[in-house]
Copies of this chain bind each other. A is one copy, B any other.
């Protein structure tokens, strides 16, 4: 599957592929060699049809009556989602959330590694957090290039979000994941994803209220 085909995969499918892989890795660790579409579906709270359709879209085909080969599917999803050499990630803002994330990601994926953290607080600069060194935010731009960092995770205080984003973009970042409640702006060539926990919580609250 070449780069051009990949572009046609629906965004939602991409998200689910990541989730399928997470589930498959767990099954693999448990010694399971094959899995049915309806088993994956149950784990993810979706329908078996959707699982089969997603898997069809990436051109994989399972074994009749035995389901999908767990290992093969993991490898194939890796070919879709991962780059061969892997991508380097930086966390900007080493506060509660930044540290939690750095700790969470540690050793999770070989193809996505957090290679640097940044902060403006002199007490944090030079220290290591979950094995990741914290650098001065002033050096962000040069270190992005030097360490070939493609993705930045913004976890500074909301007031500094725009500033952190600007520095990342100027450093030549390719993708940004913003956990700040302050939306940031990026040029079209930078891919941006934003997430605010309060939105999720308010959504849950709304459905609790109405149901």
Contacts and interface: CB of A to CB of B under 8 A. Distances in A.
Interface of A: 3, 6-7, 11, 14-15, 18-19, 22-23, 26, 43-45, 80-83, 87, 89, 95-97, 99-101, 103-105, 108-109, 111-112, 150-151, 153, 174-177, 181-183, 185, 189, 191-193, 195-211
A191 B203 CA distance: 10
A14 B100 contact: no
Nearest to A77: B202
B112 A81 contact: no
Contact of A99 (B44, B96, B203): B96
Count of this chain's copies in the oligomeric assembly: 2
Contacts of A203: 11, 14-15, 18, 193
B6 A198 contact: no
A183 B23 contact: yes
Contacts of A193: 200, 203-204
Nearest to A7: B210
Contacts of A23: 183
